[in-house]
Amino acid sequence: MRDDAFGNALRATDFENRRQLAKIGKPVDRGEWLITPATVDAYYNPSANDINFPAGILQSPLYDSHASDASNYGHVGGVVGHELTHGFDDEGRQFDGNGNLADWWTAEDGKHFDEKADCEVKEYGNFVAVDDVKVNGKLTLGENTADNGGLLLAYMAYLDRAKKEGVDLAAKKDGYTAPQRFYIGFAQNYCENSRPEQVRNQVLTDPHSPNGVVQNMPEFGQAFGCKAGQPMMPVNACRVW
């Protein structure tokens, strides 16, 4: 109904609740998508153990058939790596290959994971988002683990491809080397302006944090000529995966 936004919201919620409840006792529909084809987003679903990329996110600038491989791997490659790594973050690791909640790790591996994850909890927990409000390192751990592990995966995949194609990593195109274009592509994914109120709301409620990935990748510092110990190449960088 055109003139009843609140009523429409109630009816839509009612419809969705019934649709979800009707699934009980039925076989799992592994072909179901949780977001629409036009959505510019992607997700990992631990219950299905699958990663999903609708058409909306496979468009320029995230994936651009005219852009260089380095740029595309930094853009959408980082997103693909992010969703893959969610399967092995603090939540995803609790689900087995069939999507069931089951601990399939050795106690020793679990302990090592917690130690490495704790480095990220502390690191992100020290980021000042706005005024005196800091990022919540625990709330954002899963996303941070996925961001960090995902970009490393994407970079490894890019280096692999570049090697196969004999790309000269030191050669410049449009003024930048291939590793630099990879990281610029990644940075463009996150390029935005936010009001202080929005940032405050985000860090208090959203598991996605303002991004702190590249300082944990020595490969970034090497690409841009940073020296060990400088802010973007800290000696105590965190790495879970």
Could you tell me how many residues of this chain bind Zn ion (CB under 5 A)? 2
DSSP secondary structure letters along 125-169: HT-EEETTEEP-TTTTHHHHHHHHHHHHHHHHHHHHHHHHTT--T
- Name which of 145 and 215 has its Cβ closer to Zn ion: 145
- CA atoms lying within 13 Å on the CB side of residue 216: 22
- What single string gives the DSSP state of each residue in the chain? -TT-HHHHHHHHHHHHHHHHHTTTTSPP-TT--SS-TT-S--EEETTTTEEE--GGGSSTTTS-TTS-HHHHIIIIIHHHHHHHHHTTSTTGGGB-TTS-B---S-HHHHHHHHHHHHHHHHHHHT-EEETTEEP-TTTTHHHHHHHHHHHHHHHHHHHHHHHHTT--TT-EETTEEHHHHHHHHHHHHT-----HHHHHHHHHH-SPPSP--GGG-HHHHHHTT--TTSTTS-TT-----
**Residue 123 Cβ, how far from Zn ion at the closest point, in Å?**
18
Cβ proximity to Zn ion, 145 vs 180, nearer residue: 145
Question: Residue 38 CB, nearest distance to Zn ion (Å)?
Answer: 19
Is the CB of 69 or the CB of 143 nearer to Zn ion? 143
The one-letter amino acid at 191 = C
Is 70 or 146 the residue whose CB approaches Zn ion more closely? 146
Q: Which of residues 52-81 bind Zn ion (CB under 5 A)?
A: none
CB of 4 to Zn ion, least distance (A): 35
> Active site residue: 3, 32, 83, 143, which one?
83
Assess whether 160 carries a catalytic annotation: no
Residues 126-185 that bind Zn ion (CB under 5 A): 143, 146
Task: Provide, rounded to whole angstroms, the least separation between the CB of residue 211 and Zn ion.
Answer: 12
Query: Closest CB to Zn ion among 99 and 234?
Result: 99
Least separation, in Å, of the C-beta of 142 and Zn ion?
Answer: 7
- Is 83 a catalytic site residue? yes
Site for Zn ion, rule CB under 5 A:
143, 146
Please give the positions annotated as active site.
83, 147
